[in-house]
Amino acid sequence: MSSIIKDLPELISHNIISEQTAKNIERYYAAKKEDQGSNTLMIFGSIGAILVGLGIILIFAHNWDNFSKTVKTILAIAPLLLCQIAAGYAIFKNKSQLFKDIAGILLFFTVGSSIALVAQIYNIPGDLEGYLLSWTLLCMPLMYLLRSNMLAFLHLGFITYYAVVAGYFETERPWPYLLLLGAFIPFYLRRLKGHPFGRITSLFNLLFPLSLIITLGAFLAGVGEFGFLVYMALLGFIYNTGLLPKLESRNDYLRLGSVGIAFILLFSSFKWVWEEMETQQVVESYYIILWAILFAGMLYIAIRNGGKQFYKNAFQAVTVLFPVVYLIGMANSVLAAILDNVMVLALGVITVKQGIDKVDFRKLNFGLTIIAALIICRFFDTNMTFALRGVLFVCVGVGFFVANSMLVKKKRANVLNTPEDEN
């Protein structure tokens, strides 16, 4: 890395790269270095603080009988105050990021433990989601005040936990999640702008869309088959976001989006899904609005990315076509099921082809996995004989071997050819 920086003036003087490019390269490595600087110690310090925080909660959850109510109450509040003093000191004296992170994490957990312990001492009723909601709300400003990535991770994790408890285990729609997520977004955007290549940023790029995917279901209780459509719109949105030039090639949006899209298509490739849909009652307008918002968002980003050719990519095309298939399914379940299967197969084949063309093992095997999964799914709703099923499995297995070994050969050939090309 340092040798590249050293060589920059030479490269500029020989007109190999422009001054602007040189600056960009320098900035890139500076950002990367900065990210690595706050590395090991911070990660382990934070993990330590999280463990201590969780430990405090568990120790208190034991519910010590031998202490009087007053002692218990003091024990509930004292750690909170101590951590507040530590965090306040860290801000006031502008201490190191490590100090801020650890103080912040401990404060985060003591806020939770103090509420839990008081509820325990006084047998105060209350459900888990209400508790998680007040906890995360009370700690929401801390990530900004302490400029702490770790607190932002905790925030994202706990609001997702809240939404799951409220939406999946109870029948509430966790609207406060949106507010709490909104509070996280400016932090995330600042991170994306300041350290686009950082490791922590790429972790955010994974966890943020993951949180959206997990939480959407919490808003969809009772949606029925229409849920496939809503999920497809969200996944299309995530996938297209991953194609944004600012994010491309260093994010998990694409990966999560493409896996999710393939998964939804496979799931909806069963005959019974479409048969049930035919008999489904009218879909509530709430779900339609939710879908429309997500679909419009998806289209907006897709068009911004690729103009009129926004559906060129197979995954993008599928997300646009899926609502059409859904409409067909309302009238004719068999046709819709067939179209769905065709789309999965096409997606698999195109991905395999791209994998071979670009010598990308990951893509190749992803495509093959889609095809294999499609075949397995068809075992359940068609009357294939065991002999035929066996043959199909053998074919797919052989396909994996052949395709991968072909790619290995191709890669070797490329490597061998490259030096000759240069000569």
Under the rule (CB under 8 A), what is the footprint of other proteins?
57, 60-65, 73, 76-77, 80-81, 84, 87-88, 91-92, 94, 107, 111-125, 128, 131, 134, 138-139, 141-142, 145
Smallest gap from Cβ 127 to other proteins, in A, equals: 10
Q: Are the CB atoms for 275 and 224 separated by under 8 Å?
A: no
Q: Which is nearer to other proteins, 165 or 200 (CB)?
A: 165
Q: Which is nearer to other proteins, 125 or 222 (CB)?
A: 125
Smallest gap from Cβ 153 to other proteins, in A, equals: 19
C-alpha closest to that of 190 among 147, 239, 129, 153: 147
C-alpha closest to that of 208 among 152, 267, 264: 152
Smallest gap from Cβ 118 to other proteins, in A, equals: 4
Q: Which is nearer to other proteins, 125 or 419 (CB)?
A: 125
Q: Are the CB atoms for 100 and 146 separated by under 8 Å?
A: yes
Smallest gap from Cβ 94 to other proteins, in A, equals: 5
Cα separation, 258 vs 94, whole angstroms: 43
Q: Which is nearer to other proteins, 11 or 214 (CB)?
A: 214
Cα separation, 67 vs 72, whole angstroms: 6
Q: Specify burial of residue 386 (Cβ count, 10 A radius: 0-12, 13-18, 19+).
A: exposed
CA angle 346, 349, 354 (to 5 degrees): 120
Smallest gap from Cβ 336 to other proteins, in A, equals: 36
Q: Which is nearer to other proteins, 12 or 118 (CB)?
A: 118
**Tokens (6 digits) for 210:** 């993951």
Distances (CA, A) of 194 to 36, 142, 246: 14, 19, 12
Q: Which is nearer to other proteins, 76 or 152 (CB)?
A: 76
